[in-house]
């Protein structure tokens, strides 16, 4: 506990910023806690961290964290983060998104950042619903489940975030739940240490809207469901498809190596002789023909 309280003072912004905006029992707080403990474990200097978010419940996380924090427009966290990362490649950049923010309005930026394999960590809090606007169905709302804009049950089918991330070209994907907070912390630690585009999907509870609409009970009940229905990927290989029906796979699901974008671009600058920046004369570049006087 002593360690936990030190982390609170080290990483949270104390004055004026609390109480936070999240409902009592919301999993985003647990997610933030796991993330900050991961930073503490890795002993990353706060001055080297940029935390970017979009709009939504998860989008409010940067207000409380004592990093360079950037709360942007809806869906654009990863695009803003891309600019910040390329401009300052030595910064540790993380983007925190909800499922609507990261995968619906921001889906294009998500897949293209994964394709580039740009070095950043995306913490994708998946509570299967748009919380802040009042419970509309999202790209991760399961088929037939209720949302305020799916009053007859969701006609659409959800993304499998792992398949999406893998298919788009990311080099690291892990899934955790807000019940398995210690595992979440270690997955985040791994993701933050990974050079490349890494995603941690956090299965979280929105008992206020999703849980109420779909009769899944209180925060405690929803988190208990995660405890009972999450299967670690290592254990899953020993189970039959029938046994895995309706379960949530958690753990590290993708960890591969591919060239990282910023490293490649910085190498290009070196190759073209673009460093140091105030070099008097760049190499002869193709230039327009001079007018004969």
2-11 and 27-42 helices, crossing angle to 10°: 90
Closer to other proteins by Cβ: residue 61 or 123? 61
> Under the criterion CB under 8 A, does residue 272 sit at the interface with other proteins?
yes
> Under the criterion CB under 8 A, does residue 88 sit at the interface with other proteins?
yes
> Under the criterion CB under 8 A, does residue 8 sit at the interface with other proteins?
no
Structure tokens, 287 = 């230039």
Cα–Cα distance measured from residue 224 to residue 269, given in angstroms and rounded to the nearest whole number: 52
* Residue 289 C-beta: closest distance to other proteins, Å: 7
Contacts of 81 (CB under 8 A, 6+ apart): 50, 52, 70, 93, 94, 95, 113, 120
DSSP β-ladder status, 92-98 and 49-53: parallel
CA-based angle 143:147:148, to the nearest 5?
150
Interacting residues with other proteins between 30 and 69 (CB under 8 A): 46-48, 50, 52, 62-63, 66-69
> Under the criterion CB under 8 A, does residue 16 sit at the interface with other proteins?
yes
> Under the criterion CB under 8 A, does residue 273 sit at the interface with other proteins?
yes
Cα–Cα distance measured from residue 273 to residue 129, given in angstroms and rounded to the nearest whole number: 49
> Under the criterion CB under 8 A, does residue 288 sit at the interface with other proteins?
yes
Q: Which residue has the tokens 């004055």?
A: 15
β-bridge partners, 188: none
> Under the criterion CB under 8 A, does residue 76 sit at the interface with other proteins?
yes
φ, ψ of residue 270 in degrees (nearest 5): -60, -45
* Binding-residue total with other proteins (CB under 8 A): 54
Binding window for other proteins (CB under 8 A); candidates: 25-33, 126-134, 138-146, 265-273: 265-273
Point out which residues bind other proteins (CB under 8 A): 13, 16-17, 46-48, 50, 52, 62-63, 66-73, 76, 79-88, 90-91, 108-109, 112, 265, 268-269, 272-277, 279, 282-283, 285-291, 293
């Amino acid at each position: 506990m002593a360690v936990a309280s030190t982390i609170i003072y080290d990483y949270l912004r104390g004055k004026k910023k609390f109480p936070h905006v999240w409902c009592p029992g919301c999993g985003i707080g647990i997610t933030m806690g796991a993330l900050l403990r991961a930073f503490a474990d890795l002993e990353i200097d706060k001055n080297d961290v940029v935390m970017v978010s979009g709009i939504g419940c998860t989008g409010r996380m940067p207000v409380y964290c004592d990093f360079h924090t950037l709360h942007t427009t809806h869906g654009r966290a990863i695009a803003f983060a891309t600019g910040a990362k390329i401009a300052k490649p030595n910064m540790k950049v993380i983007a925190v998104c909800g499922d609507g923010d990261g995968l619906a309005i921001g889906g294009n930026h998500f897949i293209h950042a994964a394709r580039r394999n740009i070095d950043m960590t995306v913490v994708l809090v998946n509570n299967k619903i748009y919380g802040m606007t009042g419970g509309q169905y999202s790209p991760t709302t399961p088929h037939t489940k209720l949302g305020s804009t799916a009053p007859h049950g969701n006609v659409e089918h959800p993304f499998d975030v792992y398949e999406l991330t893998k298919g788009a070209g990311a080099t690291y994907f892990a899934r955790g739940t807000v019940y398995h907070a210690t595992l979440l912390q270690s997955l985040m630690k791994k993701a933050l240490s990974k050079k490349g585009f890494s995603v941690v999907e956090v299965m979280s509870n929105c008992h206020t809207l999703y849980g109420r609409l779909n009769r899944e009970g209180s925060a405690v009940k929803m988190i208990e469901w995660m405890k009972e229905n999450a299967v670690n990927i290592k254990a899953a290989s020993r189970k039959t498809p029938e046994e895995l029906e309706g379960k949530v796979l958690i753990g590290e699901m993708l960890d591969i190596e591919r060239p990282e974008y910023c490293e490649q671009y910085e190498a290009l600058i070196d190759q073209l002789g673009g460093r140091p920046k105030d070099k008097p004369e760049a190499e002869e570049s193709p230039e327009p023909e001079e007018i004969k006087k």
